[in-house]
Amino acid sequence: MTALIDAYDAAFFDLDGVIYLGPTAVAGAADSLEELQRRGTTVMFVTNNAARAAQVVVDHLVDLGFRADDHNVLTSAQVAVAQIARELAPGSRVLVNGSESLADLVAEAGLVPVSKASDEPVAVVQGYDPAMTWPRLDEAALAIQAGATWYATNNDASRPTERGLVPGAGGAIAVIAGTVGGQPRIFGKPFRPMLEEAMRRTGASRPVFVGDRLDTDIVGAANAGIDSLMVFTGAHGKADLVGAGEGERPTHIGADVRALLEPPRTVDIDGGRATCRGQVAVVEGGSIRLNTRPDTSEGQFDALWAIARLAWADPALDCADALAGLELVR
SS (HEC) of 73-84: EEEHHHHHHHHH
Report domain extents, the chain. 4-48+190-261, 77-184, 268-324
Q: What is the pLDDT of residue 1?
A: 60
Active-site positions read: 14, 16
Q: What is the pLDDT of residue 190?
A: 95
Provide the 3-class DSSP secondary structure of residue 174: helix
Q: Are 212 and 18 in contact (CB under 8 A)?
A: yes
Q: For 191, which DSSP code?
A: S
Q: For 265, which DSSP code?
A: P
Side chain identity, residue 167: P
- Please provide residue 56's backbone torsions phi and psi, each rounded to the nearest 5 degrees: -65, -40
Query: Pick from 88, 108, 110, 113: which is nearest to 98 by CA?
Result: 113
Q: Do domains 4-48+190-261 and 77-184 have the same CATH topology?
A: yes
Q: For 226, which DSSP code?
A: -
Cα(213)–Cα(316) distance, integer angstroms: 23
Cα(90)–Cα(77) distance, integer angstroms: 18
Domain 77-184 in CATH: superfamily? Answer: HAD superfamily/HAD-like (3.40.50.1000)
Provide the 3-class DSSP secondary structure of residue 318: strand
Q: How large is the angle between the packed helices 134-145 and 169-180, nearest 10 degrees?
A: 50
The one-digit pLDDT tens for each residue of the chain (330 residues) are: 699 999 999 999 999 899 999 899 999 999 999 999 999 999 999 999 888 899 999 999 999 999 999 999 999 999 999 999 999 999 999 999 999 999 999 999 999 999 999 999 999 999 999 999 999 999 999 999 999 999 999 998 888 777 888 888 999 999 999 999 999 999 999 999 999 999 999 999 999 999 999 999 999 999 999 999 999 999 899 999 999 999 999 999 999 999 999 999 999 999 999 999 999 999 999 999 999 999 999 999 999 999 999 999 999 999 999 999 999 999
Q: What is the pTM of this model?
A: 0.90
Q: What is the pLDDT of residue 67?
A: 94
In terms of phi and psi (left: phi > 0; alpha: psi -120 to 50; beta: otherwise), the region of 45 is beta
Residue 123 CA: distances (Å) to CA of 10, 119, 274: 35, 11, 52
Which top CATH class is 4-48+190-261?
Answer: alpha beta
Q: Are 253 and 241 in contact (CB under 8 A)?
A: yes
Provide the 3-class DSSP secondary structure of residue 8: coil
Q: What is the pLDDT of residue 158?
A: 83
